[in-house]
Amino acid sequence: MSNTEQVRVREDATLRNRNAAKPHSEHPAVTTSRAAAPARTAASTDSVPTHAAEHPLMVQSNTPTRRTVIAKRSATAPVDTDEITELARATGREIVAERTQVGPEDPGTHFGAGKVTELARTVADRNAECVVVDGDLTPRQHHAIASSMPDETAVIDRYRLVLERFEDGAGTRRAQLQVELATLRYELPRVIEAADEGLLNRQTETGSPVYDIRDRIDRLERELSACQDPAAEFRKRRREAGFDLVTIAGYTNAGKSTLLHRLADDLSYSPPERSRPTDRSPETPATDRSDDDPTATIADRLFETLETTTRRATIGGRPILATDTVGFVDDLPHELVESFSATLSEAAAADVVVLVVDASDPPARFRERLTVSLDVLDAQGVDDDRIVTALNKVDLLGVRERAHRCSVARSILPVSASDPVPISVRTGRHLKPLRTAILDRLPAERAVFQLPNCDDAMSLVSRAYDRTSVDAVDYDGDTVTLVCRGRPSVIEQLRATAEEL
Ligand SMILES: Nc1nc2c(ncn2[C@@H]2O[C@H](COP(=O)(O)OP(=O)(O)OP(=O)(O)O)[C@@H](O)[C@H]2O)c(=O)[nH]1
Ligand SMILES: [Mg+2]
C-alpha cells in the first residue's frame, strides 16, 4: 500500500450495524406506488424502450441490487463514507464492504488500474452485485470500472444513486417525467461509451439503442413542456376535496416517512392492489369515505392520480392531506436541481411545510443542514410563515444538547417561521406540540368578500387562490362574491385590498 493510498475494508459484521435493515419499502408508498402507477408505464404508450433495464445496451439496471460495495476516493484523508452509505441504504442496498482511497483522481479509471482490480476482487469475494462509487464518473471511467468487474455487476455513481432516490420520491407526473429525462440524459453517453462502433451503427431488431434514447428524450422534452404545473393542479384538487395540505420535507434520513406514518389516520390511504371503481359520484363528500367504502369521492381520485406518497390525517379535527417528499442530499449535482425541484413542487402548494431536521446530527452539520433546508424551501417559493420546524430524534440527545439545538434553530429560523418543536418520532414524544404548531399555521379565518366585477377584483381572486383555500367564487352581474379561508394575516391583507376597490 503506497503512502498516498489508504485502503479500508470493513467486514460484513462491522457493517451490519449500519445496514440495520432500512428496507426500501419503508418509504410508505414506494412499493405500492410503483405497482399502482409506475412512471414509465404511464409514459410509454409507444414501443420505445423506456426503462434502462429493458435495453440490452443500458449499462445498469434501475432495480436496486442488494449486496453492495461502497468505493470512494478522496484527495485528502479522512474519507467519509457516511452519507453515501446512508443514500445507498435508502435505495434498498445492503453494504457488504467499503473500499476507500486517498490520492489524486485517475482520468481513465477514477481509482487507478490497481485499485480497480482490488475492487473487482472485493466484489467477487463478498459476492456483491453492485458497486456504488461516491463520485461522479465520466462515461469513460464508468465503462473502465464496469468492464473490470465480475459479470452482471452494476456500477452506480453518486449521480445515478441520487436519481434513484428522486425516482422513488417523484409523486407527480411532471416530477416523474423530469426524473426519467435526467436518467436518460445521464445514460446516453454511457451507452455510447459501452457500445462498439459497429453495434451503434447497426439497426438491430429492437432498434438502434442510441437513436431510441434520443428519440425518447425528445418526446419527454415535448411532453414536459406541455405538462401542467403540478402546484396549480394540486391547488385545484385541494379545493375540490376540501383538505388542508401539509408537506413533510427535509434531508434524507431525518425521519420524514416515519413522521408521516405517525401523523396518518388509521384509515390512511395506502395505494393498494385493490381496484377502485371509476364511475363514482363527485358529489359524495370526501370525508364520508372509509377504507372499505367503495363510494366514489373526489379525494380518492386525488390520491389515484396525483400523489403516491400522501396520507390522510386529522389534526385538531380538521382533515388534512400529508405528503412525504424526497429527501435533500448534500452537494446535489447541478444538473439534478431541476429534477429535485420537481419532486418537491408539492411544497410550494402546501398550507404548511413541516421541515424535519435530524437534531442528533453533530452541531455543525445540524446548523448547516437546517440552513440549506431553509434555502431550498425559499427557492421553492415557500413563505416563511408556512414553515413548522421539527427537530427530530431528540431521544438520542441529553437535556442540554436538546436545549442547545433549539437555541441554534431559533437563531437560524426566520422570525415568521414557527418556534422549532423538538420531537421524537420514534418514541412518539412531543408529537402533540407538533400537531398544535401545524394547526396554528393552517388556514383558519373564513372571510366573505363582495367585490365589483373588475380586473382588480380578478387579481384579488387570483391572489386568494394562491394564498388561501377558496371555498367559492360566484359571479352575479356586477358583483363577485369570494368565500375563502386563510391565515388571519393573509385575510387581513386581502381585506385591505378589497376595501380599496
Ligand atoms: N432515534 C430515532 N430514530 C428515528 C427517529 N425518527 C426516525 N428515526 C430513524 O431514522 C431513520 C430514517 O427515518 P425515515 O423516516 O426513513 O427518514 P426519511 O427522512 O424518510 O429518509 P429518506 O426517505 O431517505 O429521505 C430510520 O431508521 C428511522 O427509524 C427518532 O425520533 N429517533
Ligand atoms: Mg422517507
How do residues 46-66 score in pLDDT, each as one tens digit?
Answer: 333 333 333 333 334 445 458
Q: Is 86 in the pocket of ligand 1 (CB under 6 A)?
A: no
The phi, psi pair for 320, rounded to 5°, reads -130, 160
Which residue has better confidence, 87 or 241? 87
241, 298 contact by CB (below 8 A): yes
Write the residue with the smallest CA distance to atom 15 of ligand 1: 255
Residue 266 has pLDDT above 70, yes or no: no
> What's the 260 CA to ligand 2 centre distance in angstroms?
9
Q: Please provide the average confidence, as pLDDT, over all residues in the chain.
A: 75
| Cβ burial, residue 72 (10 Å; 0-12/13-18/19+) | buried
Residue that finishes a domain, picked among 421, 441, 461:
441
C-alpha cell at 326: 424526497
Which residue has better confidence, 497 or 175? 497
Q: How confident is the model at residue 240 (pLDDT cuts 50, 70, 90)?
A: low
Residue 408 sits in the same domain as residue 460: no
Nearest atom in ligand 1 to 259's CA:
15
Q: Is 100 in the pocket of ligand 1 (CB under 6 A)?
A: no
Write the residue with the smallest CA distance to atom 12 of ligand 1: 253
Q: Which range among 25-34, 191-200, 471-480 shows the weakest confidence by mean pLDDT?
A: 25-34
pLDDT of residue 26: 30
> What's the 254 CA to ligand 1 centre distance in angstroms?
5
311, 269 contact by CB (below 8 A): yes
Q: Quote the radius of gyration of the chain (alpha carbons, Å).
A: 25
Substitution site in 423, 425, 431 for ligand 1 pocket (most atoms within 8 Å of beta carbon): 425
> What's the 207 CA to ligand 1 centre distance in angstroms?
44
Residue that finishes a domain, picked among 227, 248, 265:
227
Residue 283 sits in the same domain as residue 421: yes
Instruction: Give percent above pLDDT 90 in the chain.
Output: 35
Residue 255 sits in the same domain as residue 383: yes
Q: Is 498 in the pocket of ligand 1 (CB under 6 A)?
A: no
Residue 110 has pLDDT above 90, yes or no: yes
Q: Is 469 in the pocket of ligand 1 (CB under 6 A)?
A: no
Residue 237 sits in the same domain as residue 359: yes
Residue 276 sits in the same domain as residue 390: yes
Pick the closest to residue 467 from 445, 487, 495 (CA basis): 487
Residue 499: how many CB atoms within 10 A of its CB?
8
**Total number of domains constituting the chain:** 3
How far apart are alpha carbons 462 and 446 in whole angstroms?
17
Q: Which residue has the cell 429535485?
A: 340
Which residue has better confidence, 441 or 241? 441
> What's the 396 CA to ligand 1 centre distance in angstroms?
12
C-alpha cell at 9: 475494508
Nearest atom in ligand 1 to 423's CA:
31
Residue 4 sits in the same domain as residue 139: yes
Q: Which residue has the cell 476482487?
A: 121
Which residue has better confidence, 281 or 267? 267
Residue 295 sits in the same domain as residue 393: yes
Q: How confident is the model at residue 369 (pLDDT cuts 50, 70, 90)?
A: very high
C-alpha cell at 59: 449499462
How far apart are alpha carbons 117 and 134 in whole angstroms?
17
Residue 181 has pLDDT above 50, yes or no: yes
> What's the 24 CA to ligand 2 centre distance in angstroms?
9
Residue 211 sits in the same domain as residue 290: no
pLDDT of residue 179: 84
Write the residue with the smallest CA distance to atom 21 of ligand 1: 253
What CATH code is carried by the domain that includes residue 292?
Answer: 3.40.50.300
Nearest ligand for residue 329 CA: 1
Pick the closest to residue 154 from 183, 123, 189 (CA basis): 123
How far apart are alpha carbons 459 and 482 in whole angstroms?
12
Nearest atom in ligand 1 to 20's CA:
27
Residue 132 sits in the same domain as residue 239: no
Nearest atom in ligand 1 to 396's CA:
1
Residue 55 sits in the same domain as residue 10: yes
Average pLDDT over residues 164-186: 81
Q: Is 286 in the pocket of ligand 1 (CB under 6 A)?
A: no
Q: How far from chain centre, in Å, is Cα 107?
A: 32
Residue 77 has pLDDT above 50, yes or no: yes
Residue 127 sits in the same domain as residue 206: yes
Residue that finishes a domain, picked among 169, 202, 227:
227
| Cβ burial, residue 260 (10 Å; 0-12/13-18/19+) | buried
Write the residue with the smallest CA distance to atom 27 of ligand 1: 22
Residue 239 has pLDDT above 70, yes or no: no
Substitution site in 253, 402, 423 for ligand 1 pocket (most atoms within 8 Å of beta carbon): 253
Q: Which helix (H) or strand (E) is 173 found in, with range? A: helix 173-194
Q: Which range among 53-57, 73-77, 353-357, 432-436 shows the weakest confidence by mean pLDDT?
A: 53-57
pLDDT of residue 45: 29
C-alpha cell at 259: 413522521
Residue 115: how many CB atoms within 10 A of its CB?
21
Residue 122 sits in the same domain as residue 139: yes
How far apart are alpha carbons 47 and 55 in whole angstroms?
12
What CATH code is carried by the domain that includes residue 217?
Answer: 3.40.50.11060
118, 73 contact by CB (below 8 A): no
The residue segments making up the domain with residue 449 are 445-500
- Which amino acid is it at 69? V
Rounded (to 5) percent helix, strand, coil in the chain: 45, 20, 35
What CATH code is carried by the domain that includes residue 462?
Answer: 3.30.1370
Q: Is 393 in the pocket of ligand 1 (CB under 6 A)?
A: yes
Predicted ipTM of the assembly:
0.99
Nearest atom in ligand 1 to 258's CA:
15
Any idea what DSSP says for residue 292? T
